[in-house]
């Protein structure tokens, strides 16, 4: 009798099917992890700008509207024209730092607006606006952020 060497075709097909099933389960989880990480990175970058804003406000400067004015740098996950900074409406220190995710972000979260909003009493609140983001999942948001649909007008 001749001894078998190697694998049969059916054994190889079973291995390929198992690898395919594992990949089909792993890819969506991996994509969600990437989106969550990118949201947290932009949140961290905006949070770092709060100290620059507080420094300007402590010096009596209550009117600034650009990233350059507060010493920030453009994130690759946001892009050049996707920052919205407004600290001049009332001159009382209230305002916001907003970043619309674009640039190199996952398509799942492209268009998400992260907003750090400062009240006149110095309290900051994180709000994430997701109106134009069909792939948004609430577990992408950092724990200290509230999620809302529409940006206030």
pLDDT computed for residue 33 by the predictor: 94
- Residues of the chain above pLDDT 90, percent: 39
93 or 40: which leads in pLDDT: 40
Report if residue 68 sits inside a domain. Answer: yes
d(CA 106, CA 25): 18
93 or 136: which leads in pLDDT: 136
Query: Cβ distance 86 to 65 under 8 Å?
Result: yes
Tell me the mean pLDDT in the region 6-16: 92
Report if residue 153 sits inside a domain. Answer: no
Confidence check: pLDDT of 89 > 60: no
**Token pair for residue 129?**
């606006």
Count of domains observed in the chain = 1
Closest CA to 52 of 28, 26, 77, 83: 83
10 or 3: which leads in pLDDT: 10
d(CA 51, CA 46): 10
**Token pair for residue 138?**
């609430």
Q: What is the mean pLDDT of the chain?
A: 86
Report if residue 2 sits inside a domain. Answer: no
Burial of 46 (0-12, 13-18, 19+ CB in 10 A): buried
Give me the domain span that covers residue 90.
Answer: 9-148
CATH number at residue 140: 3.30.700.10
Quote the pTM value: 0.81
The top-scoring range by mean pLDDT among 12-21, 60-69, 105-114 is 12-21
Report if residue 76 sits inside a domain. Answer: yes
Measured from the Cβ of residue 25, the count of other Cβ atoms closer than 10 Å reads 10
**Token pair for residue 142?**
């950092």
Where residue 120 falls among pLDDT bands split at 50, 70, 90?
confident
């Amino acid at each position: 009798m001749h001894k078998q060497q190697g694998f049969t075709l059916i054994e190889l097909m079973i291995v390929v099917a198992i690898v395919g099933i594992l990949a089909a389960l792993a890819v969506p989880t991996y994509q969600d992890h990437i989106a969550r990480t990118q949201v947290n990175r932009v949140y961290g970058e905006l949070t770092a700008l709060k100290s620059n804003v507080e420094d300007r406000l402590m010096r009596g400067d209550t009117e600034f509207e650009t990233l350059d004015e507060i010493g920030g740098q453009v994130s690759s996950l946001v892009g050049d024209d996707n920052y919205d900074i407004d600290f001049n409406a009332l001159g009382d220190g209230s305002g916001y730092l907003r970043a619309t995710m674009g640039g190199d972000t996952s398509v799942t979260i492209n268009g998400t607006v992260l907003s750090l909003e400062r009240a006149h009493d110095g309290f900051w609140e994180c709000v994430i606006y997701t109106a134009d983001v069909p792939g948004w999942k609430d577990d992408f948001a950092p724990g200290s952020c509230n999620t809302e649909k529409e940006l206030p007008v």
